[in-house]
Amino acid sequence: MTLSKGKKAGLIIALAVVLLVIDQVTKILVKTNMQLGESIPVLGNWFQILFIENEGMAFGMSFGGDIGKYILTSFRLILSVLLFVYVRHLLKKDAPVGVLLGLTAIMTGAVGNLIDCMFYGLIFEPSSYTHVASAVPFGDGYGKFFLGKVVDMLYFPIINTHWPDWVPFKGGESLIFFRPIFNIADSCVTVGALYLLIFKWKYFQTHEFSK
């Protein structure tokens, strides 16, 4: 069944709103109920809610210094705007709904982490290993505009063991797979990008990059 542009626009808006609400609700719940480093096992030892914060890069990575943080947040803002413009462009071209939803997931993920960077420093106390943060009056938080930290919490140490003794240089050391700690916004970016790469690359090859 072929969807009209109006229905496609409705799906785009619905997906963006749902993903953004889930992302922000999970982050706020973790931020205001857990101490830094606190872990809650969900499915045994291989899936945990583990609260950390980072300077804005995906999967718990950091980008040093305030200047770097301003650059990183500005880049995320520009990327979000460009993705929004591109999604509108493809909607006007009546692109397949899968292409539009994949790009919307990526855009929403970028916006989700952008909200943390722009506003969390203004509305929350600092979290620590001994203190659970609370919301504060706007502007009385732990950081300046654009300098908030991104809340991460999804941790999947699927393999948590030690390297065999016979492995050179690594024998006996801890072996954890998968180490990155991330959030819903990171997942939106990753899943959206993989979906487009695996299932929709022919559309871009034929309609966008062949000119």
117-143 confidence digits (pLDDT tens)? 999 999 999 999 999 999 999 999 999
The whole-angstrom separation of Cα 176 and Cα 105 is: 29
Domain boundaries, the chain: 5-208
Tens-digit pLDDT profile for residues 81-110: 999 999 999 999 999 999 999 999 999 999
Tens-digit pLDDT profile for residues 17-54: 999 999 999 999 999 999 999 999 987 777 899 999 98
> Average pLDDT, whole number, for the chain?
89
Active site residue 186: yes
User: Out of 94, 140, 152, 165, which one is annotated catalytic?
Assistant: 152
Task: Report CA-CA distances (Å) from 102 to 130, 136, 192.
Answer: 40, 36, 5
User: Are 79 and 185 in contact, with CB atoms under 8 Å apart?
Assistant: no
User: Out of 23, 66, 165, 186, which one is annotated catalytic?
Assistant: 186
Which pLDDT does position 176 carry in this prediction?
A: 63
Tens-digit pLDDT profile for residues 172-184: 777 666 678 999 9
The whole-angstrom separation of Cα 69 and Cα 71 is: 5
Report the DSSP beta bridge partners of residue 135.
124
Which pLDDT does position 60 carry in this prediction?
A: 47
**Percent of the chain whose pLDDT exceeds 90:** 67
Dihedral of CA atoms 154, 147, 58, 188 in degrees, nearest 10, equals 70
Active site residue 152: yes
- Work out the pLDDT band at 171, boundaries 50, 70, 90: confident
Check pLDDT > 50 for residue 59: no
Rg (CA), the chain: 20
Which pLDDT does position 206 carry in this prediction?
A: 85
Which pLDDT does position 170 carry in this prediction?
A: 77
Collapse the DSSP code of 175 into the 3-class scheme (helix H, G, I; strand E, B; otherwise coil) and give the result.
Answer: strand
User: Are 35 and 127 in contact, with CB atoms under 8 Å apart?
Assistant: yes
Which pLDDT does position 56 carry in this prediction?
A: 57
Q: Which pTM was predicted?
A: 0.87
